[in-house]
Structure 1
Amino acid sequence: MLGWDKGSWGYHGDSGELFTSKERTNYGQSYAKGDIVGCGVDFDKEVAFFTLNGKYLGEAFRGIKGKLYPPVCLDPASEGCRVLANFGQERFLFDTYALNAAAN
C-alpha cells in the first residue's frame, strides 16, 4: 500500500491516516466507495494536500520534489469501486483557484 515503502506516501481510506515510510499520522476522515478523493501538489511550496468530496483537508506532506508517479491502491475487498483520474482535462470538484486566492 502507498506509504509503506520508502519514497511513497498516501492517504488511506480505511483509517483516514497519512502514511510515509510506514509512519502514520492522523489526517482526515476515512473514505469508501462513492467518495471523491483528490490529491494536489503545489510545486512552488513543495507541499501535497488531499481533498475529500471537494473539501480541502490541509497540507499532508512537505518537501515534494522531482517527478511524481500517481498510483492508486485498492483493497481486494473494494469490489465495485472504480477509479477515474482527472489531470485537469475536466473541472475539479475542489476549487483550486479558491485555494490560491486564500494563500495570497
Structure 2
Amino acid sequence: MESRCGRRPGGPGHAQKLDWRMVAHQEAEATTTTTVDPMRLASRWRSPAEWVATAAALDSEPMPSELNTANSSGLFAVVSVDKMSVKYLGVNHHGHDVGVVQADCPAPMHRAVYYFEMTVRNAGLKGQTSIGFTTESFKMRRQPGWESQSCGYHGDDGYLYRGPGKSESFGPKFTSGDIIGAGINYIEQLLFFTKNGSLIGAFPKDIKGPLYPTIAVHSQDEE
C-alpha cells in the first residue's frame, strides 16, 4: 500500500494509514444470540412473487465499495489511488484537524445486517485511529462520535463515542495489525463493533437517517 500512496514531501514521520475492507453480511447471527432465523421466518409471510421483488430490491441497492475522495478532510489526509486506504498528513494540533473519510455511499438498509472492516497498518505514535458511522451532514474535520448523529470506536483509549459529551469505556485499545469492524443489525436495531473477528459489544441504533461507514486518522508519525 505504501508504494501506491507514497509519502508526504519532506520525508517520513507524518503519515498514518488505514487499509479497509468492506464486507456485506446478511447473517443476523453475527450480532444476536437468538436461534431464530428472521429471514427464514419472514419467508412464511411472503409469496414467491414478493420474494422475487425483494431480491430485485436488494440487488439494486448501492453498496459501499470505496472511500469518497470528494467528501473528506483533504487538508489532513490523503486517500490512496485505489480509494481503499487513507494516511494522515497533519500535525495534530487540535481536535479539528482530523483526517476523516466516508464511504462512497451509505450503508444499505434493505437487509438483516451490514458490516465493514478496516485494517490498521501502523498505529505509530498515538494510535488515534477510529471507525464508525456518520450521516451525510457530518463535519469532516472531526472524529466519528465527537459530533451528534455519529458514533465511533477509538483505538487510543478503547472508548465508544456517541456525540458531544457522550463517551464510555467500551472495549480494548487497537493498534498496528488489528482488524476492526463496524456493523448495523437492522433486525434488532443495534450498532456493533468487532476486533479481529470477535464481537466487542452492541448498543441501540439511535442515529437517524442513512449512515455512512467512516474511518479516521489523527496522529503524527503513523502509517
TM-score by length of 2: 0.34
Corresponding residue number in structure 2 for 1:102: none
In structure 2, distance between residues paired with 1:78 and 1:8? 27
CA contact (8 A) 2:159 2:169 kept: yes
Of structures 1 and 2, the one scoring higher in RCO (CA 8 A, sep 6+) is 2
Contact residue 36 and residue 53 of structure 1 kept, 8 A? yes
User: 4+ runs of 1 displaced by more than 4 Å?
Assistant: none
Whether the aligned pair in 1 keeps the contact of 2:153 and 2:160 (CA below 8 Å) is: yes
- Partner amino acid for 1:44? I
Query: Structure 1: 5+ residue runs without aligned partners?
Result: 81-104
- Show the counterpart of 2:163: 21
- Bigger radius of gyration: 2
Unpaired segments ≥5 residues, structure 2: 1-142
For 1:9, the equivalent position in structure 2 comes to 151
Pairing partner for 1:44 from 165, 172, 187: 187
8 A contact 2:148–2:162 mirrored in 1 = yes
1:12–1:36 CA distance, 2 compared to 1 (3 A): same
The range that moved more, 2-11 or 53-62, is: 53-62
The residue correspondences of 1:58-97 to structure 2 (distance < 5 A) are 58-77=201-220, 79-80=222-223
Pairwise CA RMSD of aligned residues? 1.6
Query: Would the alpha carbon gap of residues 40 and 78 (structure 1) be closer, same or farther in structure 2, given more than 3 Å must change?
Result: farther
After superposition, the C-alpha distances for 1:23-45 in whole angstroms (9 at most, x for unaligned) are: 11111000012110001110121
CA distance in 1, matches of 2:192, 2:177: 20
Write the letter of the residue equivalent to 1:47: L
Query: 1 or 2, which has the higher helix percentage?
Result: 2
TM-score, length-scaled by structure 1: 0.69
